[in-house]
């Protein structure tokens, strides 16, 4: 009979509510209620009078909603009916206010595959991820264990799998959770004696994405509970996506049985993108921002010097865009150098006069010995001037006197004259300016 079903369902809900509610409250506000009818997805609960509705809805709506979710599913509703024997007029019939949205995957929807620039550093990981998204849980890549240093795209890639799965299977339950959050939820559940609810919740997921699992290190209880969840999901053909900053082998204070699970499927690494890949990532980001007026040498300079990770590349790009749109500065090599220096922690080593000489000679095709000689040949004089110009503009530690005498045994007035000549040429001769920029790029990327 319907009524029995209703009574049983409501009792099951109350059992869950009881665990997170003090005895007094439970006895006063919940015990006197009962499930009396079940119609479609609506459960009618009888309450002695309206104050029960007021109390429950204002104090326990969340707990109750969770209980309903667990017992009857997300689209279930609750209706209150005031018991006949009280002097009721019309029954209060209200759906539970705190109706939760559908299962929330906690994904950042902008982390998609299409936003990831493919290259040598991430190609294997990216293609495995795409394969998984086509048939989650059904490939050999279960779990997929994505590891690599900070800012290399682990979180983005892991979430892209989730987002892609949801576009293909909108009803599947995909959940993204950073391991710290998982651990905290578990600690809370444990403290409130809700360990089983916690486990039930996670065992109902179709694709579970746990980010930065290295934080499970030393957390015994969480490891234990994750071990069970992992086994349950894996056995039931559900997909697991894990990320970490290191390989399973290099993890510390994580039980062997959990580590061995991490290695069951596919372990893939995200590397630091090489120069060419960084260049494409930069170009793509600029294109997306609709910025097409940054000179190529500036982009190349950034790609060359910001060789740590993608997050820093993005930081530099954003900062440049800020300068060009807000401060309205032209994006020049100088500006790029300034911005990059704010991002690269290890400061660029100070240029030495020797290094400047050697780069200038190499780029301009001049014998170093001739640069230091008294030769008046045109290309040698020019190279000498260029070396002095860079020594003056790119270093701070040398006096004009030192520059002059070290580069070619000349005095400070020669240095001043050289700098003027080169500046003039840069302003008037496009081709010359390009050559100068090329040398500058070499010097600055050292």
Q: What residues make contact with Mg ion under the rule CB under 5 A? A: 154-155
- Beta bridge partners of residue 178, listed in sequence order: 211
Cβ contact 272:252 at 8 Å: no
Task: Decide which of Mg ion, ligand ADP, none touches 136; Cβ closer than 5 to 8 Å per partner kind.
Answer: none
Nearer to ligand ADP, 97 or 288 (CB): 288
Residue 205 CB contacts under 8 Å (≥ 6 apart), including other chains: 173, 174, 175, 233, 238
Q: How many C-beta atoms surround the C-beta of residue 131 within 10 A?
A: 17
Instruction: Rule CB under 6 A: say whether 152 interacts with ligand ADP.
Output: yes
Residue of 72, 21, 74 lying closest to 45 (CA atoms): 72
- Residue 214 CB, shortest distance to ligand ADP, in Å, is 12
* Structure letter (DSSP) for residue 213: G
- Residue 158 CB, shortest distance to Mg ion, in Å, is 8
Binding to ligand ADP (CB under 6 A): which residues in 52-91?
A: none
Binding to ligand ADP (CB under 6 A): which residues in 259-298?
A: 281
Cβ contact 304:275 at 8 Å: yes
For ligand ADP, the binding residue among 180, 314, 334, 338 (CB under 6 A) is 314
Residue of 295, 341, 346, 293 lying closest to 316 (CA atoms): 341
- Residue 150 CB, shortest distance to ligand ADP, in Å, is 5
Residue where the block lists tokens 């930081």 = 315
Instruction: Rule CB under 6 A: say whether 162 interacts with ligand ADP.
Output: no
User: Binding string to ligand ADP for residues 106 to 145, with x set by CB under 6 A, is what?
Assistant: ----------xx----x-----------------------
Helix/strand/coil for 158:
helix
Whole-angstrom distance, CA of residue 432 vs CA of residue 187: 66
Task: Decide which of ligand ADP, Mg ion, none touches 314; Cβ closer than 5 to 8 Å per partner kind.
Answer: ligand ADP
Task: Decide which of Mg ion, ligand ADP, none touches 404; Cβ closer than 5 to 8 Å per partner kind.
Answer: none
Residue of 148, 119, 143 lying closest to 129 (CA atoms): 143
Instruction: Rule CB under 6 A: say whether 153 interacts with ligand ADP.
Output: yes
Instruction: Rule CB under 6 A: say whether 310 interacts with ligand ADP.
Output: yes
Stretch that binds ligand ADP, among 69-77, 78-86, 178-186, 306-314 (CB under 6 A): 306-314
**Residue 63 structure tokens:** 């707990």
Task: Decide which of ligand ADP, Mg ion, none touches 117; Cβ closer than 5 to 8 Å per partner kind.
Answer: ligand ADP
Whole-angstrom distance, CA of residue 72 vs CA of residue 10: 10
For ligand ADP, the binding residue among 154, 261, 357, 410 (CB under 6 A) is 154
Residue of 42, 45, 49, 59 lying closest to 14 (CA atoms): 45
Residues that bind ligand ADP (CB under 6 A): 116-117, 122, 148, 150-156, 281, 310-311, 314
């Amino acid at each position: 009979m319907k009524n029995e079903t209703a009574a049983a369902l409501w009792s099951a809900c109350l059992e869950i509510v009881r665990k997170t509610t003090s005895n007094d409250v439970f006895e006063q506000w919940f015990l006197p209620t009962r499930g009396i009818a079940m119609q479609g997805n609506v459960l009618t609960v009888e309450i002695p009078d309206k104050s029960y509705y007021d109390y429950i809805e204002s104090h326990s709506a969340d707990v109750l909603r969770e209980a309903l979710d667990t017992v009857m599913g997300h689209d279930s509703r609750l209706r209150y009916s005031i018991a006949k024997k009280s002097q009721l007029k019309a029954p209060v019939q209200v759906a539970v206010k705190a109706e939760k949205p559908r299962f929330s995957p906690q994904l950042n929807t902008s982390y998609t595959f299409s936003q990831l620039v493919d290259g040598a550093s991430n190609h294997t990981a990216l293609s495995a991820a795409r394969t998984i998204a086509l048939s989650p849980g059904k490939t050999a890549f279960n779990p997929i264990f994505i590891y690599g240093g900070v800012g290399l795209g682990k979180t983005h890639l892991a979430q892209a799998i989730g987002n892609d799965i949801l576009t293909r299977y909108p009803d599947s339950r995909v959940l993204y959770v950073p391991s710290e959050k998982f651990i905290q939820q578990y600690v809370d559940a444990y403290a409130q004696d809700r360990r089983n609810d916690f486990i039930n919740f996670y065992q109902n997921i179709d694709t579970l994405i746990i980010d930065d699992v290295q934080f499970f290190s030393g957390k015994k209880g969480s490891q234990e509970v994750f071990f069970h969840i992992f086994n349950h999901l894996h056995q039931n053909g559900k997909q697991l996506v894990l990320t970490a900053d290191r390989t399973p082998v290099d993890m510390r204070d994580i039980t062997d049985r959990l580590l061995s699970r991490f290695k069951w499927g596919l372990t893939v690494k995200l590397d630091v993108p090489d120069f060419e890949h960084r260049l494409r990532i930069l170009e793509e980001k600029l294109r997306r921002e609709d910025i097409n007026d940054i000179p190529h040498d500036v982009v190349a300079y950034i790609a060359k010097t910001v060789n740590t990770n993608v997050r820093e590349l993005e930081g530099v790009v954003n900062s440049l865009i800020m300068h060009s749109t807000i401060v309205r500065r032209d994006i020049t090599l100088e500006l790029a150098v300034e911005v990059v220096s704010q991002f690269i922690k290890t400061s660029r080593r100070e240029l030495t006069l020797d290094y400047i000489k050697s780069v200038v000679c190499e780029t301009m095709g001049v014998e170093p010995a001739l640069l230091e000689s008294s030769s008046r040949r045109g290309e040698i004089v020019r190279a000498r001037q260029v070396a002095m110009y860079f020594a003056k503009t790119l270093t701070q530690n040398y006096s004009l006197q030192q520059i002059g005498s070290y580069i070619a045994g000349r005095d400070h007035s020669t240095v001043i004259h050289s700098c003027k000549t080169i500046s003039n040429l840069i302003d008037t001769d496009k081709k010359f300016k390009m050559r100068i920029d090329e040398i500058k790029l070499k010097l600055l990327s050292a």
